[in-house]
Amino acid sequence: MSIFGSILSKIFPSANAAPAPAAPDAAAPADASAAPAAAAPPPAITVVDVEALLDGMPGASSLNWRTSIVDLMKLLGLDSSLDARKQLAAELSYGADTSDSAKMNIWLHRQVMTKLAANGGKVPAELRD
């Protein structure tokens, strides 16, 4: 799983749950001319209050997850090493020099927050791009 995928699964754990396959209806006619059943609508996206979720996690009060990608990753129980952050930068198409880790870290944090918002997370505007 990608690093960003791991972040998503920690914030949106239900996103990992595969929908149960529909059981065939035994009472349905086998007639080929019968109209096909309407497809079930996709499940509603559940909005997750990312700020409240992260603030409620054990250890959140001792980490600066609001501005630090390293602390955010630590809070989520993920590898926050420079190599892991460089891999995350590659996944998110960081176009600048990864040897400037301070600049990369700021960009990564804002991108992660922006992408969490795009995936159904309620993220304060000041944390996004």
Residue 74 has which token pair? 């630590």
Residue 123 has which token pair? 């993220």
Region 111-116: mean pLDDT is: 96
What pTM does this model have? 0.75
Helix (H, G, I), strand (E, B) or coil at 63: coil
**pLDDT recorded at residue 28:** 47
> Which among 3, 128, 122 is positioned nearest to 67, based on CA atoms?
128
For residue 48, report the phi and psi dihedrals to the nearest 5 degrees: -110, 125
Region 111-123: mean pLDDT is: 94
Asked if 105 and 85 touch (Cβ cutoff 8 Å), the reply is: yes
DSSP state of 121: E
Of all residues in the chain, what percent carry a pLDDT higher than 70? 75
pLDDT in tens, 17-67: 444 444 444 444 555 555 555 565 555 556 889 999 999 999 999 999 999
Region 102-112: mean pLDDT is: 97
